[in-house]
Amino acid sequence: MKAVHFGAGNIGRGFVGLLLHEGGYDLVFSDVAAPLVDAINAVSEYTVHEVGDGGTDKVVTGFRALNSAADPQAVVDEVATANVVTTAVGPTILKFVAPHILAALALRDPAAPPLQIMACENAINATDQLRDEIRAQAGDAWHGLSARAVFANTAVDRIVPAQPAGSGVDVTVEPFYEWAIERPPFGDQPPTIPGAHFVDDLAPYIERKLFTVNTGHATTAYFGAQAGVEKISDALADPEIAASVAAALEETSALLVAKHGLDAGELAEYRATILRRFANPALPDTVGRVGRQPLRKLSRHERFIAPAAEAAERGLPVDGLLAAVGAALRFDDPEDEQAVELQRRLRDETPAAFTASVTGLEPEHPLFARVEALVGRRQKELGA
């Protein structure tokens, strides 16, 4: 069995690649970073170091790497004969992966079992986004190709920080992980990934994950950055920041209870677990990494605006989430392109135009005026 995984970065090597290896797949990594591809091909094994309580070392073997920028045809050929394709490239990069998969489907033996495709990104229905991109790029040819692949959405959860210089291909991760995958697209032949669990309806899982782990993590990062703290675990040790994170997460939990009927007590335990994970002092994680790409994180279907909008529509409280949005608007990291663009746009756009274009909220939405007011406040701080 063969799996091709696009994106040999932190989550690619430290989580998806590891679980595919444990499932018995030969692994082909595809990436565009030539030094990383060379480094992977220079070793015959790498180690995933789980740090913190209960962590162990896991060794991954049976892999190689291809550079899809230098040799796209080699990637297409591998995908054409693979059983599974996964991605962990970032949701905005899926459109660049799509042409390789499309070309591979055109080459694929029509009698072969359908290619099982799963995007492992922090986004709601990322695999559907990838499928829609492939379908759009295929045009009319899609009718003849669609039966050659099945697409399943997934929710992936493991904290994999930026890796310290000199660690080579090895990856340091937290011990915890969760990989929930939609079962129905596979019929009675799901991929063999013992570390994953298959669910009939992914919506509650992905929203519970994105609106708790990712909302909480990003809230910690933005308040931490505002306080001048560098490490995530240090940020959470500040009682004021911890209270702000707790306030935002109580609101997302209330939404998850109202929307999906999740149990309030179980959600409280889930929140406690993730706060312990963020506080793991052995994890070298920074507010810069966790706060990265604030424009993506402030968009309509993401970890702040999506739950706040739905909560507001239901008349549920949103003060904690809006406070987190206010902190996100102050995220000013010169090394992060989106943070630089965020601060530039805050200077250049009216509060209404900024709110509409960045958050995607409609002017008549119950949340719009409150976000617009936060933007106006930030602009006053900037003297804009």
Ligand X SMILES: NC(=O)C1=CN([C@@H]2O[C@H](COP(=O)(O)OP(=O)(O)OC[C@H]3O[C@@H](n4cnc5c(N)ncnc54)[C@H](O)[C@@H]3O)[C@@H](O)[C@H]2O)C=CC1
* CA separation, residue 2 to residues 76, 80, 336, 374 (Å): 14, 11, 35, 49
Known binding residue 3? Answer is yes
DSSP-based three-state secondary structure for 30: strand
Site string for ligand F6P, 26-65 (x = CB under 6 A): ----------------------------------------
Q: Which stretch binds ligand X (CB under 6 A): 9-17, 106-114, 134-142, 274-282?
A: 9-17
Query: Residue 58 forms beta bridges with which residues?
Result: 48
- Which residues, including other chains, have CB under 8 Å from residue 243's CB and lie 6 or more apart? none
Kindly identify the residues of this chain, within the stretch 18-37, that bind ligand X according to CB under 6 A. 30-33, 36
Kindly identify the residues of this chain, within the stretch 174-213, that bind ligand F6P according to CB under 6 A. 213
- Residue among 15 and 368 whose Cβ is closer to ligand F6P: 15
Residue 115 binding ligand X, by CB under 6 A: no
Residue 290 interacting entry, from ligand X, ligand F6P, none, C-beta within 5 to 8 Å by type? ligand F6P
Contact criterion met (CB below 8 Å) for 332 and 347: no
Q: Centre a 10 Å sphere on the Cβ of residue 297 and count the other Cβ atoms it contains.
A: 25
Among residues 18, 159, 254, 371, the one that binds ligand F6P under rule CB under 6 A: 159
Q: For the chain, how long is the longest CA-to-CA vector?
A: 64
Q: Dihedrals φ, ψ of 320, to 5°? A: -65, -45
Site string for ligand X, 120-149 (x = CB under 6 A): -xx---------------------------
CB of 195 to ligand F6P, least distance (A): 15
Q: Dihedrals φ, ψ of 44, to 5°? A: -105, -10
How far apart CA 282 and CA 6 sit, in angstroms, is 28
For residue 174, the Cα-to-chain-centroid distance in whole angstroms is 16
Annotated binding site for NAD(+): 3-14
**Which positions lie near ligand X, rule CB under 6 A?**
6-12, 30-33, 36, 68, 88-91, 93, 96-97, 121-122, 156, 158-160
